[in-house]
């Protein structure tokens, strides 16, 4: 009876995924290949949470990511159906997506994901096996069946004792029987055409033990046992084919061959079970392979760090890298942007400014220039660990300083390490327990070309590298008590070259460079209203100055704004740190981002704020914070997760970059920084054609300019004042109805009424 009740409620739910490619770009890493499959002379590769399709004949690549509607969750298995032209994608959380090649629609099948009777940690998709239009899905709870012809979810089979849930790693069909390899309950089989597969009593145990693979190759059944030994089933006996000394990570039939792989070894057998290809210790290094397949007598490797590789089986142990261009990793920590360039770091410290969560990491850097990625491996950076921040020299953008929250400060020019500063060759100090643990959290240039940087858990929390190459240690004694017990990281510099350093539990250390003195911005200071936490002061997690010199402060418990930061240096401090109060949907007052963990804040060309959070996505708010302009999260955008670590704005293009724990994306905001004159005035698209439904962007503007749009006879159809360098128009006459076809004049007048520019735009209805 329990099985019947389950069947009644396990109905098919299909949700068409949304395509976000009009305004978004994905900048994912394709260097960790988690699964491979092949079909129609193409290679299908899963790279953590995105897919790319490589055509060996045309040598072209097609990408499917969350931009196109693929879920941002971790992919555990992919399968390509040649008969139906479908890409089947399975995820660790139980989601299944079906990509239809004929129309590029993506169907999300959430039956397993949303089934409440199955524990969330038992929903992982382990394998797909296609048989006569039926897709058998191996999971951590049993087997589910999907109808590929009708795109419908069928039954789920709980094949453990008394109908219990057991982990099934792989299935196959041979001679009318379906076989399942289970991790603890042996190899089980049943009549594949039985109308009663849902009944656990229809399944029998053929071999006891712990198994993690089973497949049909050349009408013979091969199995993979947990001890990494591969057997052929001969009647009721097991005949060993081969064994691996390390964990077998790939076990499949592809390209007419049986392909078995471990982290450093690949064996490929033909139909006569002769060894066709043998890959071992490529480049005399540990391969770190996740999987391998065969296609047209070529072996393709899925590497953990090098992406998709085509192995050249010519005795040379050479390979060809095939992955699309992208950054080193998907787990982004911080972003730094200037026009047409972006720097990405992957070093991590926890919310408690601990660099050891999960161990010290060494992950290198990524540098996006235009559309091209330059990845700098950690070996080229003296193996410096925990790279957590990049400061770009505005006078020489090819020169950057990279903060390491363990190994000091790195100077890089033209993507090459020039110098590394630490306690051995500078004024950088180590933590009290280890002089070689040099925790530099962030750095920033002042207007004189001096570089200020933080130095956590030391007597002097703020240091300075002068423009002439010498070091200076500011006096911050008045800004913090017990400095060697104070953790710090984020740092900013204002227009007057004053420095503000965020700490854990001690507020903000403010340093006045003109007087070489410091002060504390803390809850104990009158006018400072920090969010309530268990400690006297919250963890300061983000700092940024806006265009009106207000300091925006992110904490692990909410957002604050400081209207007059330099007032802290007065003999009698005059400061105001306050929350932004807005009205909710019911008209009631509430605090903007109340108790949200703020991870980063960026300011765009119109002085809007882009606020990243630890678990709620990104908020775009108006210059004063009173209006929420946009909220981007997993539900309404291609963000692969709501955990956004960093946000950065390209002020020239208006592109906003979001660095998440599951990948990097960018959004075209069309908001650009202000210009000095109107020489670069333009409107696009131009002409506006009948099938275009988006907004017209007018950029090259100067701040506070008046923009009028008239028809050719001078009739006014639109007028506005611009914040920043960009304005958008919906092609409606004062928001009422779309204007008719014709040529329209764009008349721009500067705030001082002295500069005027006229442009034209054609609209075709």
Query: Which residue ranges form the domains of the chain, and what is each CATH number?
Result: 2-321 (2.130.10.10), 343-421 (no CATH), 435-579 (2.130.10.10), 682-763 (2.60.40.3110)
Which pLDDT does position 9 carry in this prediction? 36
Here the contacts of 98-102 (C-beta below 8 Å, separation 24 or greater) are 98/151, 99/51, 99/64, 99/70
Structure tokens at 409: 């400060």
Model confidence pLDDT, tens digit, residues 504-520: 999 999 999 999 999 99
Q: Predicted confidence band at 658 (pLDDT cuts at 50, 70, 90)?
A: very high
CA distances from 611 to 443, 619, 657 (A): 20, 5, 12
As a whole number, mean pLDDT of residues 695-705 equals 86
pLDDT level of residue 236 (50, 70, 90 thresholds):
confident
**What mean pLDDT is predicted for residues 109-132?**
95
For residues 247 and 41, give the distance between their C-alpha atoms in angstroms, rounded to a whole number: 29
Q: Please, which pLDDT band fits residue 467 given cuts at 50, 70 and 90? A: very high
C-beta separation of 350 from 489 below 8 A:
no
Q: Is the pLDDT of residue 159 over 80?
A: yes
pLDDT of residue 314: 66
Contacts 24+ apart (CB under 8 A), 275-284: 277/311, 277/313, 279/311, 279/313, 279/317, 281/317, 282/309, 282/311, 282/317, 282/319, 283/317
- pLDDT digit string, tens, across residues 584-628: 878 889 999 999 999 999 999 989 999 999 999 999 999 999 999
**Phi, psi dihedrals of residue 4, rounded to the nearest 5°:** -65, -45
The pair of three-digit structure tokens given for residue 48, joined into one six-digit string: 């953590």
CB of 728 within 8 A of CB of 653? no
What's residue 753's pLDDT?
A: 79
What is the C-alpha separation between 542 and 647, in angstroms, rounded? 11
- Rounded CA-CA distance 75/91 in Å is 4
The answer to whether residue 3 scores a pLDDT higher than 60 is: no
pLDDT at 316: 64
Residue with tokens 């045309």: 58
**How do strand 334-338 and strand 50-55 relate by DSSP bridges?**
unpaired
**Residues 761/688, Cβ–Cβ less than 8 Å:** yes
Query: What pLDDT, on a 0 to 100 scale, did the predictor assign at position 355?
Result: 93
| pLDDT for the residue 315 | 61
Whether the CB-CB separation of 554 and 503 falls below 8 Å is answered with no
pTM above 0.95, yes or no: no
| 522, 726, 734 from 743: Cα distances, Å | 58, 21, 17
Look at the block and give the residue holding tokens 């391969």: 287
- Amino acid 592: pLDDT: 96
Give the chain's mean pLDDT. 93
Cβ atoms of residues 29 and 324 within 8 Å: no
Could you read off the pLDDT of 259-318 as tens digits, one per residue?
999 988 899 999 999 988 888 765 555 678 999 999 998 999 999 999 999 988 766 668
DSSP-based three-state secondary structure for 5:
helix
Q: Sheet holding 275-280: strands in order across?
A: 248-254, 257-262, 265-269, 275-280
Q: Please count the CA atoms within 13 angstroms of the CA of 720 that sit on its side-chain side.
A: 17
In this structure, what token pair is assigned to residue 637? 């955008």
Among 293, 319, 268, 371, residue whose Cα is nearest residue 655: 371
pLDDT at residue 724, as a whole number? 76
Q: In sequence order, what are the beta bridge partners of 609? A: 603, 621
Q: How far apart are CA 504 and CA 550, in angstroms?
A: 22
How far apart are the C-alpha atoms of 180 and 168, rounded to whole Å? 6
pLDDT of residue 520: 97
* % residues pLDDT > 70 (the chain): 97
> Are the CB atoms for 546 and 607 separated by under 8 Å?
yes
214 falls in which pLDDT band (50, 70, 90)? very high
pLDDT digits (tens, 9 = 90+) for 716-744: 999 998 877 888 888 999 878 899 999 99
For the sheet with 168-174, list strands across it: 168-174, 177-182, 187-191, 204-207
Nearest residue to 94 via CA among 51, 53, 146: 146
Burial 94-128 (b: 16+ CB within 10 A, else e): bbbbbbeeeeeebbbbbbbbebeebeeebbbbbbb
270 vs 743: CA distance, rounded Å: 68
pLDDT at 16 over 80: no
Instruction: State the average pLDDT over residues 147-159.
Output: 95
> In the prediction, which pLDDT does 256 show?
94
Q: Report helix, strand or coil for 252.
A: strand
% of the chain beyond a pLDDT of 90: 82
Token output for 442: 């962030």
Only one residue has tokens 């960790």, namely 32
At 14 the pLDDT is 61
Q: What is the mean pLDDT of residues 81-99?
A: 97
- Cα 214 from Cα 223, distance rounded (Å): 4
Strands (E), 606-741: 609-613, 618-621, 628-632, 644-649, 655-660, 663-668, 682-684, 696-699, 706-711, 716-721, 726-729, 732-733, 737-738
pLDDT band for 444, please (50, 70, 90 cuts).
very high
Residue 127: both structure tokens together: 């394998």
């Amino acid at each position: 009876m329990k099985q019947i009740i389950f069947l009644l409620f396990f109905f098919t739910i299909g949700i068409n995924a949304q395509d976000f490619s009009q305004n978004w770009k994905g900048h994912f890493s394709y260097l960790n290949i988690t699964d491979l499959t092949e079909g129609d002379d193409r290679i299908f590769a899963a790279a953590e949470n995105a897919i790319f399709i490589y055509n060996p004949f045309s040598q072209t690549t097609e990408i499917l990511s969350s931009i196109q509607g693929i879920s941002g969750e971790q992919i555990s298995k992919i399968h390509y159906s040649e008969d139906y032209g479908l890409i089947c994608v399975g995820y660790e959380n139980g989601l299944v997506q079906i990509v239809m090649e004929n129309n590029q629609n993506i169907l999300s099948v959430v039956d397993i994901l949303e089934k409440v009777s199955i524990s969330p940690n038992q929903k992982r998709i382990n394998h797909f096996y296609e048989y006569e239009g039926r897709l058998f899905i191996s999971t951590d709870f049993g087997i589910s069946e999907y109808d590929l012809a009708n795109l419908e979810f069928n039954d789920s089979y709980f094949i453990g004792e008394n109908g219990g849930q057991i982990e099934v790693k792989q299935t196959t069909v041979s001679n009318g029987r379906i076989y399942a390899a289970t991790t603890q309950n042996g190899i089980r089989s049943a009549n594949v055409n039985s109308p009663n597969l849902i009944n656990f009593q229809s399944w029998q145990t053929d071999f006891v033990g712990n198994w993690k693979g089973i497949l049909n190759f050349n009408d013979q059944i091969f199995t993979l046992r947990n001890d990494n030994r591969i057997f052929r089933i001969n009647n009721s006996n097991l005949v060993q084919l081969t064994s691996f000394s390390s964990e077998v990570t790939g076990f499949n039939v592809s390209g007419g061959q049986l392909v078995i792989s471990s982290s450093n070894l690949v064996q490929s057998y033909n139909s006569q079970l002769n060894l066709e290809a043998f890959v071992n210790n490529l480049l005399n290094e540990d391969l770190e392979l996740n999987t391998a397949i065969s296609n047209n007598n070529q072996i393709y490797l899925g590497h953990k760090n090098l992406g998709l590789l085509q192995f050249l089986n010519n005795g040379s142990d050479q390979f060809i890298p095939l992955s699309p261009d992208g950054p080193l990793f998907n787990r982004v920590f911080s972003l730094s942007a200037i026009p047409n360039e972006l720097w990405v770091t992957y070093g991590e410290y926890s919310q408690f400014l601990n660099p050891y969560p999960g161990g010290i990491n060494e992950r290198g850097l990524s540098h996006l220039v235009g559309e091209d990625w330059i990845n700098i491996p950690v070996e080229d950076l003296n193996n410096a660990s925990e790279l957590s921040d990049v400061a770009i020299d505005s006078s020489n953008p090819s020169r950057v300083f990279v903060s390491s929250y363990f190994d000091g400060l790195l100077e890089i020019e033209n993507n090459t390490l020039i110098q590394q500063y630490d306690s051995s060759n500078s004024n950088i100090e180590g933590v009290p327990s280890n002089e070689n643990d040099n925790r530099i959290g962030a750095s920033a240039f002042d207007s004189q070309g001096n570089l200020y940087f933080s130095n956590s858990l030391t007597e002097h929390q703020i240091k300075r590298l002068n423009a002439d190459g010498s070091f200076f240690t500011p006096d911050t004694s008045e800004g913090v008590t017990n400095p060697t017990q104070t953790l710090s990281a984020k740092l900013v510099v204002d227009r007057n070259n004053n420095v503000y350093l965020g700490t854990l539990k001690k507020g903000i250390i403010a340093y006045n460079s003109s007087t070489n003195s410091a002060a504390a911005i803390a809850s104990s200071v009158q006018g400072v209203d920090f969010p309530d936490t268990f400690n006297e002061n919250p963890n300061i997690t983000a700092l940024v100055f806006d265009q009106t010199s207000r300091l925006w402060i992110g904490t692990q418990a909410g957002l604050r704004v400081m209207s007059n930061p330099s007032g802290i240096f007065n003999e009698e401090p005059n400061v105001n740190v306050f929350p932004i109060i807005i009205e909710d949907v019911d008209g009631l007052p509430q605090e903007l981002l109340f108790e949200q963990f703020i991870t980063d804040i960026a300011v765009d060309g119109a002085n809007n704020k882009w606020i990243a959070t630890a678990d709620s996505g990104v908020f775009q708010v108006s210059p004063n914070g009173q209006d929420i302009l946009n909220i981007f999260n997993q539900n309404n955008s291609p963000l692969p997760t709501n955990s956004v670590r960093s946000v950065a704005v390209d002020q020239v293009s208006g592109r906003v970059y979001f660095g998440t724990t599951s990948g990097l994306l960018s959004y075209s905001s069309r908001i650009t920084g202000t210009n000095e004159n109107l020489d670069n005035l333009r409107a696009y698209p131009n002409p506006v054609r009948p099938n275009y439904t988006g907004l017209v962007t007018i950029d090259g503007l100067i701040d506070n300019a008046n923009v009028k749009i008239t028809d050719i006879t001078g009739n006014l159809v639109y007028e506005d004042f611009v914040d920043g360098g960009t304005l958008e128009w919906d092609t409606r006459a004062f928001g009422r109805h779309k204007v008719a076809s014709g040529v329209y004049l764009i008349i721009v007048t500067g705030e001082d009424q002295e500069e005027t520019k006229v442009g034209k735009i054609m609209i075709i209805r």
